[in-house]
Structure 1
Amino acid sequence: MQIKYLLLLLIITATTQAQSIFDNARNGDITAIEKQYKMNQDTINAVDSKGFTPLILAAYNNEVATVQMLINKGALIDAQDKSGNTALMGVAFKGNLEIVKILIENKANINLTNLNNATALIYASTFGQTEIVKFLLANGADKTIRDNRGNTALNHAAMQGHDALIELLSAE
């Protein structure tokens, strides 16, 4: 009987350890990330098959505390996935202003472009994230950058009918 319990305990332990840094970042499991970091500090900047880092996944999934913890541990703030997207780009269209502020305060490159030459400002404008657009502009976002189809953030806002953003992005 004790062997069965020992075997079950080993299986449960192995399953828990098998939880990836990516799953833990996605789910905001700071305790598990801390344990993984203690075992191997390089896990903070690990990259999955799509090029996602724990920071990109935490930001995209609105895990504010996890984003801050990963940055504090040395996560590469401007790491880009296989499409060239960063944590800032992902959160710009998801709409979490608090994470945008954390990333910018920690020196995220506000005008970095992905493989389509899109920026965080273009994403925020496309998805109607007015408060994020205001914050990005106030912190140096370049509204003249054009994506690979020649469209600026203003063009994207207009295509989507975001009137408040059209007015904001048209201002000198």
Structure 2
Amino acid sequence: MKLVAFVFAAWSGVIATAATSASIEADKVQKYLFETARAGDASLVVELIGAGARVDAQDESGYTALILAAYNGRTASVDVLLAAGADPNVGDKRGNTALMGAIFKGEEAIVLRLLREPRTAVDARNAAGQTAAMFAALFGKDAVIDALAARGADFSIADAAGQTAQKLAVQQGNEPLAVKIGELTRR
């Protein structure tokens, strides 16, 4: 088999090296994909997918490589994973998608990239019934609200606690955003 040398950066920032794709167990290749997506080495993400890592596999927390890349602001890795067929709508154990994670972390470039992906379900709901619009309202992401509106997001959806994006904006004291969401809800 072709020798595939690769390096990945773990949480601690320590660099580790593995020998060949043939000698690495499938679960280790998968783990390396998670770590590499988190670290943002897009070329290595490509090699790991070529070595058999599954793009939509989930770790023990339910995170996919796409969720990890989006949450950590790794735009190039997000692009590679989407091009490799990663499903942007897979949620973690709480149902949070890559889009929700990127909004939470304030990764606007990744949010916009995910919204350009036709497969991204803008009204996907997590286990609490929350949508990306609710995340954007909660964190005061005005530009994200505009981008979600452009993709046809439904701002009238209420979560399990009866909260809508507009109510969350009001609770956060963001009256201008609440007004904007109210107007979008009436459209």
Q: Using structure 2 for the length normalisation, give the TM-score.
A: 0.79
CA contact (8 A) 1:111 1:119 kept: yes
Give the alignment of 1:21-170 within 5 angstroms: 21-42=33-54, 44-107=55-118, 108-170=120-182
Consecutive unaligned residues in structure 2, runs of 5 or more: 1-15
Runs of 4+ aligned structure 1 residues displaced above 6 Å come to: none
Deviations 1:60-109 (A, max 9, x none): 11111110111001111111111111011111222223212221221200
CA contact (8 A) 2:115 2:147 kept: no
- Structure with more helix by fraction: 1
The DSSP-based 3-state class of the residue aligned with 1:13 is strand
* Aligned-pair CA distance for 1:15: 8.6
The DSSP-based 3-state class of the residue aligned with 2:17 is helix
What is the rounded CA distance, in whole Å, between the counterparts of 2:161 and 2:142 in structure 1? 23
Between 1:60-69 and 1:161-170, the stretch displaced more is 161-170
What is the rounded CA distance, in whole Å, between the counterparts of 1:78 and 1:59 in structure 2? 12
What is the rounded CA distance, in whole Å, between the counterparts of 1:119 and 1:15 in structure 2? 43
Q: Using structure 1 for the length normalisation, give the TM-score.
A: 0.86
Q: Superposition RMSD on alpha carbons, in Å?
A: 1.9
Between 1:72-81 and 1:99-108, the stretch displaced more is 99-108
Identity value in percent: 37
- Structure with more strand by fraction: 2
Structure 2 match to 1:7: none
Consecutive unaligned residues in structure 1, runs of 5 or more: 1-11
What is the rounded CA distance, in whole Å, between the counterparts of 1:112 and 1:147 in structure 2? 11
